[in-house]
Chains A and B, each alone.
Chain A
Amino acid sequence: MRSWDSMDDFEAFLDDGGLVEPGDAMPDTYREAVFRFIELHANSEYMGGLTERDWIAKAPGLANKLTALAKTQDEIGHAHLLYMVAADMGIKTRDEMTVDLLAGRTTFHNVFHYRAYTWGDQIAIAYLVDAAALASQQAVFKNCSYGPYKRILRRIIAEEGFHMRNGEELLLKMAKGTSQQHDLMQEGIDRWWWPSVQLFGPDTRPDDVLLRWHIKSERNEVLRDRFVQKMVPQLTAAGFTIPDPDLRQDPDTGRWISGKIDWDALKAAIAGRGPDSERRLRDARNAWDGAAWVRTALDEAAAVPA
């Protein structure tokens, strides 16, 4: 077990690229901040997995159903791994985290407060949301000071890469499809563009401890801008438009500049006042209640001496 005499010592350790491990006597403020961040990530994976699950039955054709099945397992798997890492920080148990999530006491990412109506939405999510999430996770992984989180992120990122590639594959298929498929895809992009851009969050504040303590390695606005620079040409080349009438290209640098971003929409979504927040949480509660018999069976299995 390592300990540090002062916050300055601890921060110098982090600045040197030091990795904090669960047994270390880390400052409480660090423990708390990292825990909250991982809990938010875990909640988001879990909520994402539950909606992905809806598409196992709805996805067109066996190949897409199998992918939806694999992705559902991946997302629920990510939640498992992250809840385990979070629980090992000794602040809340896994059950406490689930109960808090379902009671609306903790939050999950804005993109899971919207509804996926069509297959076009589902592809837009795989393409835009998974890409945005992956970019954020890669930025955390790059410089992450909490050892168990960094190690688990390596695995999550590898799997998220499959999802994003699958999203791009399906998007390009739709682009080359019938005009109906093209329209369906465009509607999906129209619904998911802004939530994906907002996922990166408003500009990082100068005093953001997550940046100072090497949980985040890049400012939100940098990641958001990189996402826009990458996605606009890809979507345009595939024959789609971006639902941002004020989007323009800087004549000197060639960089894309977004119109005004509605941060109130982000705040409302995260606070549980998004267009689909209520239904999503209800679904999650039903899933939890519906699986009560499994938890009972597991508890009883644990009680039987081997």
Chain B
Amino acid sequence: MKTYEVFLKRPGKDPFTHVGALEAPDDELALSFARDCYARRSEGEQMWVVARSELLVADSVELEMADRSHRHNDGALLRDLRKAGDSPAS
């Protein structure tokens, strides 16, 4: 038995969403089991089934550790600048 991960995409703008996993002996049956387990009520119009062993999993520590503040702008500086602009000194 192999473990597979199942992704569904509902109609419309939603992206593919991971919905769960299952065990199956081969790819063909994995698709069939996935339909039985996760899409009995047409919960998606598209389905991806991927063997867990084929997934490339990123290191979550690497995703988190860097300081990425320069890629964000929380608007704090802008707020201060605007406030300064309102003051009677200007």
A residues adjacent to B (C-beta < 8 A): 1-2, 23, 70, 73-74, 77, 80-81, 84-85, 87-88, 94, 148, 151-152, 155, 298-299, 301-302, 304, 306
Contacts and interface: CB of A to CB of B under 8 A. Distances in A.
Contact of A77 (B1, B21, B25, B36): B36
Contact of B21 (A2, A73, A88, A298): A88
B36 A73 contact: yes
Contacts of A155: 19-20
B26 A84 contact: no
B26 A301 contact: yes
Contacts of A73: 36, 40
A87 B37 CA distance: 16
Contacts, number: 45
Given A73-B36, A74-B40, A302-B1, A81 B20 contact: yes
Nearest to A70: B40
Nearest to B28: A301
Interface residues of B, number: 17
Interface of B: 1-2, 19-27, 29, 36-37, 40, 60-61
Nearest to B57: A23
A301 B25 contact: yes
B22 to A, nearest CB: 6
Contacts of B1: 298-299, 302
Contacts of B21: 84, 88
Nearest to B43: A155
A1 B22 CA distance: 22
A30 B28 CA distance: 36
Cβ-closest 4 pairs across A and B: A302-B25, A301-B25, A298-B25, A84-B21
